Amino acid sequence: MTAPDSSSKNSDGSEKPKVGQIYSPTLTLMNFKNGSSSNSTPLKLLHCDNGYDRNKCTSINPNKTLSFDGTLGYTNKMLFGYAQGATSGTASTSIVGKLTNCTSNSCDFTAAQKQFINSVKTPALALIRKVQQFPGAIQGVAEQMAPIIANELALKYGEAALYAANQTFNGVKGIKPDFVDQNINKLVQELAAIRAEDANFQPRVVATEQWIKMILTSNPAIFVKPGL
């Protein structure tokens, strides 16, 4: 992708691209996890202001704001029905909503929900199922597990991107640009940061397991949500 050259304008006043100038990557793995929320760095992308058809896209806006949920927002949508999580409530059509009112083995999960459930390898969903018979506890466990699931998904995408980047120039005659290795190294560092964050979540998993044990061995009608 080329970057605008502020010293040169097209006849319509739009910025003319400088040939050979490459944009630095703007989407980090942490951005990918958190999405375009208030906790993330605002992300920009090139945008055609006057259409995409042939002979159009002559006016390019380099500062269009990119909006997306990230793996955390996606996880929250699957679990609670809203990208913001349980703070916005719990939809009856969400995984937590369906588990709370489940009357069959499948709980009438959609294909997308089943795909999400099958893609998660952490014990998070197993922990949620342990308290399925206690509706009030399902949401509490899900709230604790949501960031852990989001981390796992971000790691999977990051590792896939790293593998693809390393394979791109294997066995080809093309010359690898200098920025490729630089960006691969950045991605390796970002993966390390996500893994470190994941390790920091382990006490949360242990505390949640202990809380679940307390629920299962005491009066299920009286329990306190874990303060983690």
pLDDT tens for each residue of 130-169: 888 887 789 999 999 999 999 999 999 999 999 999 998 8
User: Are residues 74 and 61 part of one domain?
Assistant: no
* Domain shared by 210 and 111, yes or no: yes
103 with 47, same domain: the answer is: no
pLDDT band at residue 2 using 50, 70 and 90 as cut-offs: very low
Does one domain contain both 82 and 24?
no
Report the candidate in 160, 92, 161, 79 with the shortest Cα–Cα distance to residue 120: 79
Cα separation, 213 vs 206, whole angstroms: 11
**Quick count: other Cβ atoms within 10 Å of Cβ 176?**
11
Domains of the chain: total: 2
Q: Is residue 224 part of a domain?
A: no
Res 222: pLDDT: 47
137 and 46 in a single domain? The answer is: no
The encoded tokens of residue 196 equal 């470190």
Residue 3 has what pLDDT?
A: 44
Does residue 48 fall inside a structural domain?
A: yes
56 vs 52, 105, 176, CA distance in Å?
A: 6, 53, 32
Summary count for the chain: helices (H), strands (E): 8, 4
The closest alpha carbon to 190, from 153, 159, 150, belongs to 159
Q: Which of 39, 65, 91 is the last residue of a domain?
A: 65
Note the pLDDT tens digit of each residue in 73-100.
999 999 999 999 998 889 999 999 998 8
**CA separation for the pair 142, 132 (Å, rounded):** 11
Cβ neighbours, 10 Å, residue 48: 14
- Contact criterion met (CB below 8 Å) for 41 and 20: no
Are residue 113 and residue 205 in the same domain, yes or no?
Answer: yes
Rounded to the nearest 5°, which phi and psi values hold at 48?
-80, 115
Residue 133 within a domain: yes
User: Where does the pLDDT of residue 196 fall: very low under 50, low under 70, confident under 90, or very high at 90 and above?
Assistant: very high
pLDDT at 41 over 90: no
Residue where a domain stops, chosen among 38, 65, 92: 65
Which domain, by its residues, includes 11?
2-65
Same domain, 95 and 169: yes
pLDDT at site 171? 82
How many angstroms separate the CA atoms of 186 and 27, rounded? 11
Same domain, 10 and 46: yes
110 and 172 belong to one structural domain: yes
Residue 42 clears pLDDT 50, i.e. is over it: yes
Q: Are residues 55 and 75 in the same domain?
A: no
33 and 85 inside one domain: no
**Is a pLDDT exceeding 50 seen at residue 4?**
no
Residue count of the chain, please give it.
228
> Is the domain of 109 the same as that of 32?
no
Tokens at 35, concatenated: 């999405």
